[in-house]
């Protein structure tokens, strides 16, 4: 059964990394698309999901809430009989991408500034209803 928990914890880490990458690259792509005229970055679904995702992070930080994905991973690792952030190479590598040591105010400030940057793109590169995401 511990193997199931370990695999589930690794899946949670991968989802966590995907979440973080979507938030980071979503802003970068929106900024690049604003400069180059990409229409798809104005899609209201893409932009709304992106703003909501960083909004959740900022809210959790301001409220002192630990990310549920982190909590789930830690619990699954405990159930698997592992110490947190130990295990196979991929899980360790992904964990090191997500977690590092710094004072709490650094994270709160960073997440808040990033959230404000995402919100600012709504003014600079506003979403438009006719900007559907089209297949390549």
Contact 14, 95 (CB under 8 A): no
12 CB-near residues (< 8 Å, 6+ apart):
69, 72, 73, 76
Please give the residue range of the domain that contains residue 24. 2-124
Joined tokens for residue 127: 């979403």
- The answer to whether residue 129 is domain-embedded is no
- Would you place residue 13 in the very low, low, confident or very high pLDDT band (cuts 50, 70, 90)? confident
Contact 34, 125 (CB under 8 A): yes
- The answer to whether residue 132 is domain-embedded is no
Contact 37, 115 (CB under 8 A): no
- Mean pLDDT for 8-22 is 92
Query: What does the pLDDT look like over 40-85, one tens digit per residue?
Result: 999 999 999 999 999 999 999 999 898 899 899 889 989 998 765 5
Helices (H) and strands (E) in the chain, counts: 5, 0
- The answer to whether residue 89 is domain-embedded is yes
Using CB atoms within 10 Å of the CB of residue 64, give its burial: 0 to 12 exposed, 13 to 18 middle, 19+ buried: exposed
- The answer to whether residue 136 is domain-embedded is no
> CA 60 to CA 46: how far, in whole Å?
21
- Mean pLDDT for 122-128 is 93
- Mean pLDDT for 96-125 is 87
What is the DSSP code (8-state) at residue 87? S
- The answer to whether residue 131 is domain-embedded is no
- Would you place residue 103 in the very low, low, confident or very high pLDDT band (cuts 50, 70, 90)? confident
Crossing angle of helices 2-36 and 104-124, rounded to 10°: 40
Q: What are phi and psi of 132, to 5 degrees?
A: -70, 150
Number of structural domains, the chain?
1
- Would you place residue 18 in the very low, low, confident or very high pLDDT band (cuts 50, 70, 90)? very high
- The answer to whether residue 103 is domain-embedded is yes
């Amino acid at each position: 059964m511990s193997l199931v928990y370990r695999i589930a914890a690794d899946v949670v880490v991968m989802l966590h990394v995907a979440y973080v990458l979507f938030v980071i690259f979503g802003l970068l792509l929106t900024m690049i698309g604003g400069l180059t005229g990409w229409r798809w970055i104005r899609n209201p679904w893409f932009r709304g999901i992106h703003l909501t995702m960083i909004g959740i992070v900022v809210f959790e930080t301001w409220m002192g809430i630990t990310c549920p994905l982190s909590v789930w991973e830690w619990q699954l690792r405990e159930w698997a009989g592992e110490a947190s952030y130990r295990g196979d190479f991929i899980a360790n590598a992904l964990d090191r991408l997500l977690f590092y040591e710094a004072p709490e105010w650094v994270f709160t400030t960073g997440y808040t500034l990033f959230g404000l940057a995402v919100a600012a793109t709504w003014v600079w590169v506003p979403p438009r209803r006719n900007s559907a995401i089209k297949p390549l």
